[in-house]
């Protein structure tokens, strides 16, 4: 299992997390799947509508419908979800584990605590398994 991220998108995701600090940023990862590997080709930032956006994230259903329209235009598939942890390590929270339902999708977390760290997981039955991240230059 691997998530492959082009360097330009890696940099953009970092900027997205920094821009929304101290709140969590969030969105969909778009791309393609080859076997158990996901290749990131684009992403859709989503407004964080959670009542406590400093520590959690949520998508509004109407924003999700708009995102699906973009998805069709780009002819890509949702390969995962990303969000930031402004003040905690890139480890899925209990809420993250509870609300992740697609075992083939990458669950990317960008941590801003003590610098910038990334981690990606596949979540199945409320258990997270870390996947490799490859940054393409």
Q: Identify the CATH number of the domain in which residue 117 sits.
A: 3.40.140.10
The pLDDT, as a whole number, for residue 134 is 96
Quick: pLDDT tens for 87-99: 999 999 888 888 7
Residue 103 pLDDT level (bands cut at 50, 70, 90)? confident
Domains held by the chain: number: 1
Alpha helices in the chain (DSSP H): 7-20, 61-74, 94-98
Encoded tokens for 114: 């003590």
Residue 135 pLDDT level (bands cut at 50, 70, 90)? very high
> Which residues form the domain of 110?
2-136
Quick: pLDDT tens for 24-65: 999 999 999 999 999 999 999 999 999 999 999 999 999 999
The pLDDT, as a whole number, for residue 28 is 96
Quick: pLDDT tens for 114-128: 899 999 999 888 889
Euclidean distance between CA atoms 108 and 12, whole angstroms: 14
pTM of the model: 0.94
Q: From the CA atom positions of the chain, what is the Rg in Å?
A: 14
Q: Nearest-5° angle of CA 132, CA 82, CA 6?
A: 55
Quick: pLDDT tens for 1-18: 999 999 999 999 999 999
The pLDDT, as a whole number, for residue 126 is 82
The pLDDT, as a whole number, for residue 133 is 97
| Mean pLDDT calculated for residue range 66-74 | 88
């Amino acid at each position: 299992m691997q998530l492959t991220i082009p360097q330009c998108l890696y940099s953009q995701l970092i900027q997205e997390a920094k821009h929304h600090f101290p709140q969590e940023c969030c969105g969909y990862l778009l791309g393609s799947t080859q076997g158990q590997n996901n290749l990131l080709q684009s992403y859709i930032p989503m407004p964080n509508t959670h009542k406590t956006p400093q520590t959690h994230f949520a998508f509004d259903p109407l924003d999700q419908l708009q995102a699906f329209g973009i998805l069709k235009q780009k002819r890509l598939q949702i390969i995962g979800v990303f969000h930031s942890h402004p003040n905690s390590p890139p480890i899925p929270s209990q809420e993250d584990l509870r609300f992740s339902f697609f075992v083939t999708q990458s669950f990317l977390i960008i941590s801003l605590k003590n610098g910038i760290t990334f981690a990606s997981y596949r979540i199945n039955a409320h258990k997270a398994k870390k996947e490799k991240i490859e940054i393409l230059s």
